[in-house]
Structure 1
Amino acid sequence: MHVFTDTSPGGEPGREDQETLIRVAMERATEGAPPLPDLVPVALVQGRRRRVRARAAIGGATIAVAAIGVFATTLPVWGGDAAATRNVSAASSAGATAVPRAVRTPVHIEPSPGESSMADLPAAERAWQEEFQQRAAAVFDELLPDAFGTVHPVDLAVSRYQGGKDGPVFPLMFSVRPQAGPEATPADPPCTSIPEKHLRCREATLPNGITIRAVTASGNEKEGKTITGTTLTFERGRSSVKLSVGGDDHAMVSAPVTTDQLLAIAQDARFLELVDDADAHPMEPKKDMVRGG
């Protein structure tokens, strides 16, 4: 029997006595029950696991982001060998130039007696010219009309290419030659049109400041047909540039490219980047010049 001292007003047990009663009641209620486990080690283990999981999640996210960056920088952009490469945006070429592209099989032409070819070049120079031809062919595929067909390099000279689609073959020349010395006189005649000979010449200054000459000529008449080709010439940097397209003189089919289309190419940044590369690393001898008048 417990005896309590009444120390609080109203004859009820005081606060201290109430706490004693509660503690005694709890001890009686838990008599025979197993001891409570120590929760501190469990809490420490769970805390460690949460930290490990958090670090793993952060590390995994970092690795994933890094992997995405590596994948994005190593993913090649491939140019096709046919219509799939046409009308590709400038983004595929402006940086154009270092991006891997599908290799276009060069067209082989045997040199004439006494004529040299790219096969005679030193290995390093030949590799440079072949790589340049591959880039140029891809750019022309993007810029020329579909009717010109897929453009392939010709292994005879770095300036030679050809297109073709469904039979006809269209020669293309893209030449960047160092200019001759100032004492020489250009061999180009005045820009004159001769309608009776189906020759038209015009000069213009393009919006990019290039003064350009465009010559369109028809000739090689056979069976009442003639073929037409167009040639552009201009100066840039330290070089003389020539871009020309011709028709198939066997099938008697004119080049499916207009003068205005060639003029548009001459203004395109992708084409001018090729010109600047060839100007910085000349691959052809100096332009033929004649002295005097």
Structure 2
Amino acid sequence: MANTSGGTGWHSRAKFGWEFFGAELKRRREERGLSQQELGRRVFCSGSYIGQFEAGMRKPQLEIAERIDVELGTDGFFARMCRQLIDNEPYFDYFVEAKYLESIATAIHAYAPLYVPGLFQTAAYARSVMIGSFPLAPDSDIERWLAGRLERQAILEHPTKPLLWAVLDENVIRRPISGPRVMHEQLVHLAALADRRRIMLQVVPMSEGTLTLGGLLKLMSFEDAPTVAYEEGAMSGMLRDDPAQVARYQLAYDFIRATALSPAASLDLIRTVAEEYGDES
């Protein structure tokens, strides 16, 4: 996993870059005598969004950066910086902002119906998922994506932050991704994270039948900003920050969590399935 303590890794450089983007935005906005609300009105977003961009809490979409350049007369400065920072991301475009928000969240609640969430994947499991999803991708792309995924797991190095709670569908632990050995290692890793109380795990038994969500859902909470929902499907992802939409996702997540086994029973099931894979490997 990446070392984030010294500020020399990619994660630290990227975070610094977006903080610099925000600082420059604030400086140049004030030079033009515009409030956050006024600039937001001109570029078709809220003033609170401008404040979050300036604080480095959110990343603007490229089209917003382009409109900011027009309104501030900065000759493409913010659009160029935005493109450069995004191009340096080892992630798909739709996940770039979600990954950043994940790194600053105070709590992350996830529901996973198909695979172990990326934050908790072993290298072998993650590689198998990527190859299965993109069977024609060159090895260089697979390894780049894998490095990015493992680097995200740096947030697990903190003993308590962010709070992490994952609800897995039972088929997640029973689908033999890349065979018994890889699955045994993956489930042992999950159990170890739960044993040291780094994550809270629950499993929804298959006997529950139809669920209210068909894809991965991640609810991310922050110290000074509203909760954001991230949903992901096949080769696509979407951030939702409208309060009414987020509330609906939260309710759906709560209903699913209510159908899950208790954390203790879930951990027992994970260990049992891990042993079964261990006997086969």
Please, what TM-score do these two structures have when normalized by structure 2? 0.27
Structure showing the higher helix proportion among its residues: 2
Higher strand share: 1
TM-score, L = length of structure 1 = 0.26
